[in-house]
Copies of this chain bind each other. A is one copy, B any other.
Amino acid sequence: MTVEELKSALPNFTDPKLLELILEKGQLMKLEPGKVLMEPGKFIKMVPIVLEGSIKVLRMDEDGKELFLYYLDAGETCALSLTCCTASKPSEIKAIVEEPTTLIALPVAVHEQLSDEFKQWKDFVSSTYQNRFQEMLIALDAVAFKRMDERLMRYIVTKMKQHKTNELHTTHQEIANELGTSREVISRLLKQLEKKKWIELGRNVIYIRDDFEELISK
């Protein structure tokens, strides 16, 4: 990979010395869907910067129940890996690849060096914290204040946008896991949406009406 290619993937970084350092010290990785990048309890020694694709970030509790938090998209990094790394504490979350993804993994020491030397990197880290805080608050709002039917509809919209499709290839169980509830609840709520003709259900697939997002925001 050339500095030029990296620059186009990370338009926020214009400083050629910064880009060069990232390229030189970072490890380029191509990941396939299903690859688990991080799991609770494991130690993280790298800060991942997504170049292409996306990474799904989930919170997990002791019994393995999980809760979707947010996606890391191209150009973004994970605030939790930043905090875990610098504190050298084990991961609190699970990160899993959902679509073919390339990223560059930066050793913690390099991150700290870049923080000292490059304002662009410092701003990047700072805005990462900001954005992730924001998304954590959104996740918190959902579980604290929203009913499951609304959460499910928003989940569907999020997935549609993330994968740029109106066919979700997933199971009710998978959705239930990510929303932190049980499969039956999701099955019943999906049936209700089907009854309203907003979606159609198949095995391992949900077909979503093009105007789904307008329908739910009434």
Copies in the assembly, this chain: 2
Name which of A45-53, A101-109, A138-146, A185-193 contacts chain B: A138-146
Tell me the dominant secondary structure on chain A's binding face. Answer: helix
Binds B, one of A30-38, A128-136, A163-171, A208-216: A128-136
The answer to the question of A5 belonging to the interface, with a C-beta cut-off of 8 Å to chain B, is: no
CB distance from A166 to the nearest CB of B (A): 28
- Does chain B have a CB within 8 A of A1? no
The verdict on A8 contacting chain B, using a C-beta distance below 8 Å, is no
Which residue numbers of A lie inside 8 Å of B, CB to CB?
Answer: 59, 61, 65, 67, 79-80, 82-83, 86-87, 92-93, 115, 122, 126-127, 129-130, 132-134, 136-137, 139-141, 143-145, 180
Which 4 residue pairs across A and B have the least CB separation, nearest first?
Answer: A83-B130, A61-B145, A143-B143, A143-B144
